[in-house]
Each structure stands twice: as C-alpha cells, then as structure tokens.
Amino acid sequence: EAEVAQSPRYKITEKSQAVAFWCDPISGHATLYWYRQILGQGPELLVQFQDESVVDDSQLPKDRFSAERLKGVDSTLKIQPAELGDSAMYLCASSWPGQTGETQYFGPGTRLLVL
C-alpha cells in the first residue's frame, strides 16, 4: 500500500539552530501539503504545493520557515532559527491535483522539540 514517507520521526534541537524535515508523497500525487499540529489542537496548513509551485503559503512564517519541492516530487521544510514555540508535530500530506474534495493522505509526522 502506497504511503507518505517522512523523516526524521523525531527531532530534538536547541533554539536558534536550524532544522529540516523531509517528505516523500505517494507516487503520482501532484499536491503536497505541510501542516503543523500543536499538542491538543488540530493540524494547521503551513504550505501547499501543486507540483513544484507554491499554491498557498499564507500561514507560513516566512522570516524563519522555508519550503521547497524542486522537482515536484519530494519536499523539504526548513526552520532557521528554531524557537521554543516551534515545538510541534509537522505533518506532510499528499493528494491528486488539489481540486477541492480530493482526499489527503498523511505521513507519520515529525515530532519536533525545541529546547
């Protein structure tokens, strides 16, 4: 069964350090999403890609966060510098072309702890 892959699963870092997360979507899924989930809350969209293009990054803190999907397949989310408030679960999801109504399939997530 095809799955969304994410790595690492867990990351502990100190504030002001740089961190990077990787996501490999289900093969053939053109749309890729990065969500952030704070403990006890639902996920919130950070950035949405359609192939290699950013479709929505309105909630991405662009002073410290960046995301890329250079070849339209896998994607990297970076935080530099990390802050204490960035501690959360970072979830990647993918779907067929992002027409409203396409089911999003999620990866296992990367749990980030900033000390």
Residue 43: count of CB within 10 angstroms of its CB: 19
Yes or no: say if 110 and 11 are a contact pair by the CB < 8 Å rule: yes
- Does residue 95 touch another protein according to CB under 8 A? yes
CA distance 86 to 71: 27
- Does residue 31 touch another protein according to CB under 8 A? yes
- Does residue 72 touch another protein according to CB under 8 A? no
CA distance 92 to 33: 6
Pick between residue 82 and residue 92 the one whose CB is nearest to another protein. Answer: 92
Among 36, 82, 107, 114, binds another protein (CB under 8 A): 107
- Does residue 53 touch another protein according to CB under 8 A? no
**If 0-12 CB within 10 Å is exposed, 13-18 middle and 19+ buried, where does residue 7 land?**
middle
Among 19, 23, 48, 82, binds another protein (CB under 8 A): 48
CA distance 41 to 63: 24
Pick between residue 38 and residue 84 the one whose CB is nearest to another protein. Answer: 38
Residues that bind another protein (CB under 8 A): 4, 6, 31, 33, 40-45, 48, 55-56, 89, 91, 93, 95, 98-109, 111
